Chain A
């Protein structure tokens, strides 16, 4: 058994784990956008759990959603309709893109979750936006306290911040393992590590990470490496795409997407009032494409490419994800000026058109590997 197996197992059994925690009296609250301040949910003694989408089929969601809807959001809605998440005690949505906003309406109309809350995320970081977002976070806190009948004292928040920051620091150390050639962990493994952190209690995840870091250098099954790649784009909630990339000779050593480095790169300032610090952290973290800070976002990709010494980049977007689709050609140009070959890839979460995509990735990697 690989030392990486626990992460994958956790990911695969996440529903059972959550249900199990519930029998012990724990509340489970879903979230779907990485701009949701999980620390607050954690501090109300609940398990914050990211909702992942169905990949294989989305028949139920297809009844209600037109074809031109983001397939990730579609997949999430499908799981809700199917009842995969019927154990959720609450759900926190966030206004980060048109697909999400409108699908939140669909959830309200069609899926039954006892408590739902919507966090209005600004798209700018002006002083007024900071205040507005802080007020939104306050409202989230009040909502959590009221819905779950438990106050969130400052001390609990501080504790949450500490545990979350620890997780972020550890994840960065895990990412550092990929600077080596060949990397000590593969891109698929790194993704599964990050994803598993989103569906379990962070203190348990921290333990696993510590163990991994202690043992990884002597692992028996290191990845074989390949063409070093940066993969940048929107969201990735399963490892299907990366598995293809790594099966045809790619080695994903750096990433820039919501559920990758952007998820944990920035820490919460642990001095001062935790609520303000949390609000600041989330609004000012490396921006997703719905935020105005485009240059900063591109800058992060470029920096990742450099620090992780990549040979090429894949810029991927989910179909119908407008914010990323507009950015993609511009990010491609930026990375090109850094001397990197770039492949633009639009993909369906459901992986339809797989064969063709595989051929394109393979050809790209061959091309890069050949030079």
Chain B
């Protein structure tokens, strides 16, 4: 039994950390040493703009999740707290701020390479730009803020206002000016279009992969999704990403054809909202042992979107503006409703994130609305993605088990 479960792991994602993530950070340090500018960037920023220039973008949030997975995040958070940063701030931010004061030798992958400049936006959370202000001050390097209008529900939750697209595009033009000053080079419009085209291709492959998970039994679980989404986040428009997703795509497709799921005993199909417990990815294995599989995550669904390379700027506006992090809660509710139907879901897990308002406030409405619209129950668990100090595993597991039993009764 144990053995057959192990055999069910995907081949393509085996050794993912070693083969891709570690390599990415090694490259980052190497490129930096060779004189290429390194930019620190936050999620929901149109990273394509950086990948189209001779800049190496790294993602502190990704780095924080690594620190959490390697169980050093709390130590780093404590350093930040000793500098006066509140324990209630986002653990990603605390972790990375803490890492600024730690010896590189003590940090996973030698820490993040020192930034030459920082770019972030207002489109996910306040933390992004406030945190980056701290970093900018620390290294005395410039910070570019892409100012993005909050997408309050209009005609529908995904409706985009013309003024918002215009404002976004004008922000991208300012970004180009900024990048040209920072790199001393004019932006190559052709390369930008190529990058957008590659990003579109990456996105298409990723969307197909996620789509296969509609199948019963589900061919790919949350753990693999949370690893593999790395390319969508960090390097969505590279040949490496396309190569990886092509391989993953065909492996998952084969599973679908062969009716081969991640477990033999699929009983409950779940959606997982927000972030995983990076320090406890085993949690998904535990769920699997209860017969519960995660068939969709809101997280893996927010990064994609087809892009029209002919109009690169508008394409980026249309990809990033409707991101649910930048929208009223209705957008997330609609997304979850859509996923729940398409993926034949029995229940939703809504983990909040202690230091993150965006992922915490409003989850009660999600729960209520989804129950009202589809009759599908949700479980809110109050956790933190990277700071495990108040994580009570026994208690959370107990609540999950009660929740699953309730789903069982419903069936």
Interface residues of A (CB under 8 A from B): 63-70, 95, 97-99, 101-106, 108-109, 118, 120, 122-124, 126, 128-129, 132, 135, 289-290, 292, 294, 317, 319-320, 322-323, 325-330, 332, 344, 346
Contacts and interface: CB of A to CB of B under 8 A. Distances in A.
A51 to B, nearest CB: 17
B339 interface: no
B88 A132 contact: no
A322 B357 contact: yes
A68 B354 contact: yes
B290 interface: no
When A and B form their complex, which 4 residue pairs have the shortest distance between CB atoms, in order from nearest?
A329-B84, A326-B130, A102-B361, A98-B357
A102 B131 contact: no
Contacts of A69: 357, 360-361
Contact of A64 (B93, B134, B365): B365
Contacts, number: 127
A66 B361 contact: yes
B352 interface: yes
B88 A327 contact: no
B355 interface: yes
A330 B134 contact: yes
A95 B130 contact: no
Interface in B304-328: 328
B361 A323 contact: no
Contact of A68 (B129, B355, B362): B355
Contact of B328 (A67, A104, A323, A329): A104
B393 interface: no
Contacts of A327: 130, 133
Nearest to B163: A135
A105 B365 contact: yes
5 contacts: A68-B382, A69-B361, A95-B150, A320-B357, A323-B130
A289 B122 contact: no
Contacts of A122: 147, 149
Interface of B: 83-86, 88-90, 93, 122, 125-127, 129-131, 133-134, 137, 145, 147, 149-150, 152, 163, 167, 170-171, 174, 328-330, 352, 354-355, 357-358, 360-365, 380, 382
Given A105-B330, A124-B147, A323-B130, A67 B170 contact: no
A70 B355 CA distance: 11
B88 A68 contact: yes
B86 A325 contact: yes
B131, B167, B330: which has the most chain A beta carbons within 10 Å?
Answer: B167
A91 to B, nearest CB: 13
Contacts of A108: 328
B357 A129 contact: no
Question: Which applies to chain A's interface (DSSP): helix, strand, loop or mixed?
Answer: helix
A326 to B, nearest CB: 4
Contacts of A124: 145, 147
A106 B357 CA distance: 13
A111 B127 CA distance: 28
A332 B360 CA distance: 29
Given A106-B365, A132-B167, A289 B130 contact: yes
A123 B145 contact: yes
Contacts of B125: 98, 322
Contacts of A63: 364
Given A120-B152, A126-B147, A322-B127, A106 B133 contact: no
Contacts of A102: 329, 357-358, 361-362
A332 B84 contact: yes
A109 B367 CA distance: 13
Given A102-B357, A120-B150, A322-B357, A109 B89 contact: no
Given A95-B150, A126-B147, A322 B361 contact: no
A232 to B, nearest CB: 14
Contacts of A118: 152
Contact of B149 (A104, A120, A317): A120
Nearest to B355: A68
A118 B149 CA distance: 12
Nearest to A102: B361
Contacts of B134: 326, 330
B137 A330 contact: yes
A81 B399 CA distance: 29
Nearest to B136: A294
A68 B360 contact: yes
A105 B357 contact: no
A101 B83 contact: no
Contact of B363 (A66, A135, A320, A322): A66
B171 A105 contact: no
Given A99-B357, A101-B150, A102-B358, A322 B163 contact: no
B89 A326 contact: yes
Contact of A103 (B85, B145, B149, B361): B361
Nearest to B121: A123
B406 to A, nearest CB: 21
A329 B137 CA distance: 12
Contact of A128 (B84, B88, B131, B170): B170
Nearest to A327: B130
A127 to B, nearest CB: 9
A60 B89 CA distance: 25
A69 B382 CA distance: 12
A68 B127 CA distance: 14
Contact of B382 (A66, A126, A135, A344): A66
A67, A103, A123, A290: which has the most chain B beta carbons within 10 Å?
Answer: A123
Nearest to B364: A64
A52 to B, nearest CB: 20
Contacts of A317: 86
Contact of A105 (B174, B328, B354): B328
A66 B361 CA distance: 6
Contacts of B93: 326
Contact of B329 (A68, A105, A319, A330): A105
Nearest to A320: B88
A356 to B, nearest CB: 16
Nearest to B331: A105
Given A67-B382, A98-B126, A290-B126, A123 B329 contact: no
B163 A132 contact: yes
B328 A294 contact: no
B374 to A, nearest CB: 17
Contacts of B127: 322, 326
Contacts of A64: 364-365
Contact of A66 (B137, B163, B352): B352
B145 A292 contact: yes
Contact of B361 (A106, A123, A128, A330): A106
Given A102-B362, A132-B167, A325 B174 contact: no
A123 B88 contact: no
Given A66-B352, A106-B362, A123 B147 contact: yes
A98 B358 contact: yes
